Amino acid sequence: MTTSPERTEKGSVDLKSYFIELAEFNNWADNRVISWLTQITDEQWNQVAISSFGSVRDTAVHIVSAKKIWLDFWTDAPNPVYLSADFTGTKEELIAIWKRASTELKFFIDNYPKKNYGNEISVIKPNGELISMEFRKTFPHMINHSTYHRGQLVTLLRQSGFFNLSNTDLFTYYLT
């Protein structure tokens, strides 16, 4: 069930409520993808394809890695590590990590104070470059990034012969 963000007196949407809604959407869409991944064979999981990442597996690892690393950046975790740099686990292990990250995302967004949305977040890019950006800009980026790569997964899954797909866009989420 989707929740609607609170509206202020002037009719504008409260940013915290909207971010909570986006986190719920992201987790809803990720759960749809996870359900697809539980249905594919190991051959489909590992099939080499031409894309940003070379397989369904590599694309899924990238999505989960990004979700986890953003949580690490937002919570100022010591020594954040990109999961994609060295993940060697199974599909089931990745799905378990993904589900934990989804729970952590929801908890974080629900509890992150709105007054901190302008805070600078330190980010270590995959190439080692250290940058900073306001939280209010990094969170929508993470949502958009996930959406982009979920779309790639749809194409990769179709190329592997898996067609039991469902829509994961925001519009569909709002209709549920």
**Does pTM top 0.95 for this prediction?**
no
Is 145 assigned a ligand-binding role in the annotation?
yes
List, for residues 42-66, the tens digit of each pLDDT value. 999 999 998 899 999 999 999 999 9
Rounded distance between C-alpha atoms, residue 105 and residue 155, angstroms:
26
- For the cut 70, the answer to whether the pLDDT of residue 9 exceeds it is no
Q: What is the pLDDT of residue 13?
A: 78
Query: Rounded to an integer, what distance in angstroms lies between the CA atom of residue 36 and that of residue 164?
Result: 7
- Which backbone phi and psi does 75 adopt, to 5 degrees? -95, 5
pLDDT, tens digit, 9 for 90 and up, residues 68-116: 999 999 999 998 989 999 999 999 999 999 999 999 999 999 999 999 9
- pLDDT level of residue 6 (50, 70, 90 thresholds): low
- Average pLDDT, integer, range 153-171: 96
Instruction: Find out whether 62 is annotated in a ligand binding site.
Output: yes
All domains in the chain, ordered by first residue: 15-175 (1.20.120.450)
For residue 22, give the nearest of 35, 5, 6, 9 by alpha carbon. Answer: 5
Over range 7-12, report the average pLDDT: 60
Say if residues 106 and 113 touch (Cβ distance below 8 Å): no
Rounded Cα distance between 4 and 32, Å, is 21
